[in-house]
């Protein structure tokens, strides 16, 4: 290992502090015994206990998970289908327009997406609730899925699918038993991305939610406006923990898969 020069060490510390100091403070004060979020009054886990007693937060968490799960599944299906058309269908009239329109929501201000969805739901007389949030989240997260999946599909060797057809598969069977298993990692990361986007969305959800359907970000935001309570710190700490666990697991498994593949390949050449 090379030792870091003092300059690099300082930059690293400053950068990390800039990124993580706010979160560290948040996590520390979630274990604060006192009610004030700025004064340390000893270690305690009582806010975690009271958080699980708080029905409003628990309901919001449940709504968020439900919305996140369903909308990311829908977004994955639609996004994958869109990616296949863009990558595979070759040239057809309006292809450029179509692919541009798929990617436009990536750069569209969320306020505009939220507002237009709200206007649409009002126009068609749809009561705002869990369903409208699901639809809204599907709309904006499917383009992320299609970006992720299409980047994998571009690298996909189409002769694999032709080989499946050649060996007796119907086109759907070929997709199901060859293409899908091979692009599965991209589809899964697309799903995870959609799920994460849905979990932390505040703007679009506040446009499209109804009185009975508050998501966690909305709940936290409105609670904070009435004053920060240590319960929110506890809730945020749990969310940070879940996200960190997910990210670390994914990166560790993929790293292990790569080293294993490399080892096996070397073994194959040694055997040959």
Task: State the Cα–Cα distance between residues 156 and 150, nearest whole angstrom.
Answer: 9
Site for another protein contains 173 (CB under 8 A): yes
* Binders of another protein in range 247-266 (CB under 8 A): 261, 264-265
Least distance in angstroms from the C-beta of 259 to another protein: 13
Could you give the residue ranges of the DSSP H alpha helices within 155-215? 158-166, 171-174, 180-200, 203-208
Stretch that binds another protein, among 14-22, 33-41, 51-59, 156-164 (CB under 8 A): 156-164
Please say which residue, 35 or 95, places its beta carbon nearer to another protein. 95
Q: Pick from 157, 211, 226, 227: which binds another protein (CB under 8 A)?
A: 157
The answer to whether the CB of 236 falls within 8 A of the CB of 30 is: yes
Which two tokens mark 170? Answer: 């119907």
Considering the rule CB under 8 A, would residue 269 count as an interface residue with another protein? yes
Q: Does 154 bind another protein (CB under 8 A)?
A: no
Inter-CA distances, 16 with 107, 238, 244, Å: 28, 21, 16
CB nearer to another protein: pick between 161 and 201: 161
Longest dimension (CA), the chain: 72
Q: Does 267 bind another protein (CB under 8 A)?
A: yes
What stretch of H or E contains 28?
A: helix 6-30
Return the residue of 26, 182, 240, 250 that touches another protein, per CB under 8 A. 182
Residue 187 CA from chain centroid, whole number: 12
Instruction: Give the footprint of another protein on this chain (CB under 8 A).
Output: 157, 159-160, 162-170, 173, 178, 181-182, 261, 264-265, 267-269, 271-272
């Amino acid at each position: 290992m090379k030792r870091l020069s003092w300059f690099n060490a300082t930059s690293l510390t400053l950068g990390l502090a800039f990124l993580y100091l706010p979160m560290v403070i948040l996590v520390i004060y979630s274990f604060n015994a006192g009610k004030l979020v700025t004064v340390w009054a000893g270690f305690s886990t009582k806010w975690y206990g009271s958080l699980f007693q708080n029905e409003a937060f628990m309901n919001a968490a449940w709504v968020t998970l439900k919305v996140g799960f369903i909308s990311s599944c829908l977004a994955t299906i639609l996004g994958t289908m869109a990616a296949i058309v863009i990558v595979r269908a070759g040239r057809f009239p309006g292809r450029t327009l179509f692919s541009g329109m798929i990617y436009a929501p990536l750069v569209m201000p969320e306020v505009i997406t939220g507002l237009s969805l709200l206007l649409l739901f009002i126009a068609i007389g749809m009561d705002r609730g869990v369903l409208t949030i699901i639809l809204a989240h599907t709309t904006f997260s499917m383009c992320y899925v299609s970006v992720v999946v299409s980047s994998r599909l571009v690298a996909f060797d189409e002769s694999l699918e032709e080989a499946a057809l050649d060996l007796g598969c119907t086109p759907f069977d070929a997709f199901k038993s060859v293409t899908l298993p091979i692009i599965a990692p991209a589809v899964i990361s697309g799903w995870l991305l959609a799920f994460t986007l849905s979990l932390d969305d505040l703007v679009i959800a506040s446009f499209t939610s109804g009185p009975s359907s508050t998501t966690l970000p909305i709940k936290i935001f409105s609670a904070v406006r009435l004053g920060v309570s240590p319960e929110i710190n506890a809730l945020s700490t749990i969310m940070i923990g879940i996200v960190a666990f997910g990210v670390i697991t994914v990166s560790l498994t993929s790293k292990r898969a790569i080293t294993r593949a490399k080892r096996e390949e070397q073994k194959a050449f040694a055997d040959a």
